[in-house]
Amino acid sequence: MKVPLMKEIFGANDQVALENKALLDSNKVFSVNIMASPGAGKTSFILATVERLPKSLKVGVVEGDVASSLDAQTIAARGLPVVQINTGGGCHLDAPMVQSALNRLPLGEINLLFVENVGNLVCPAYFSLGTHLNVTIASIPEGHDKPYKYPDIFAIADAIVLNKIDLLPLVDFDLEYFRRGVSMVNPEVPLFPISCKTGEGLEEWVRWLLLKVKDAFS
């Protein structure tokens, strides 16, 4: 009985995800699902990206967390429209949660939407949200084995970001081993080693993102 039930859950979620995508497309809002473990730097990454975007590009954020609104407060302090989703113990966002958040955002005033998923390397991989891109963030302190241990969240990524590379001299992290793991599960995915602290690598990531935004509605 478990397999049919899961198919029903995923099917219902995917239908709402399609509705989310249609709503975003109709408002010409490009959307990015940010997935990572707790502490990998999701919020810092969003803010570092926003700092390097053209001022003409208007950004909104959906913040997903098990509890609290700390990250949403950080985003709001930068003057960005933000909606907080608390899952109350749930380990991921799903499409209905995001749909509720979209209805509370001024989509007509936004060009780019970041959806910060709940910190988790497992469950977010299985629930489509209706976003245009999936971005998985790993970080140096987490270790170089994550693509091997959590392949699905790397396999569905349209881009992979390796954050905190300023810590490479201080941490036993095998960059080539990490790259091989990524290539095994997602051979064509672009990998962006970056540091939100120093800014290293962020310009290359932003250039890639802007091309994706331009191509989506051109």
What does the pLDDT look like over 7-65, one tens digit per residue?
A: 666 789 999 999 999 999 999 999 999 999 999 999 999 999 999 999 999 999 999 99
Placement of tokens 């005033």 in the chain: 109
21, containing H or E segment: helix 2-26
Residues 41/47, Cβ–Cβ less than 8 Å: no
Give 120-133 pLDDT, tens digit per residue.
Answer: 999 999 999 999 99
CA distance 196 to 74: 15
Q: Contact, 111 vs 213, CB < 8 A?
A: yes
**pTM of the model as a whole:** 0.94
* Residue 146 tokens, joined: 């994550």
Domain edges within the chain: 2-216
Q: Is 3.40.50.300 the CATH classification of the domain at 2-216?
A: yes
Can you read off the two tokens belonging to residue 32? Answer: 């990015």
Q: Cα-atom radius of gyration of the chain, to the nearest Å? A: 17
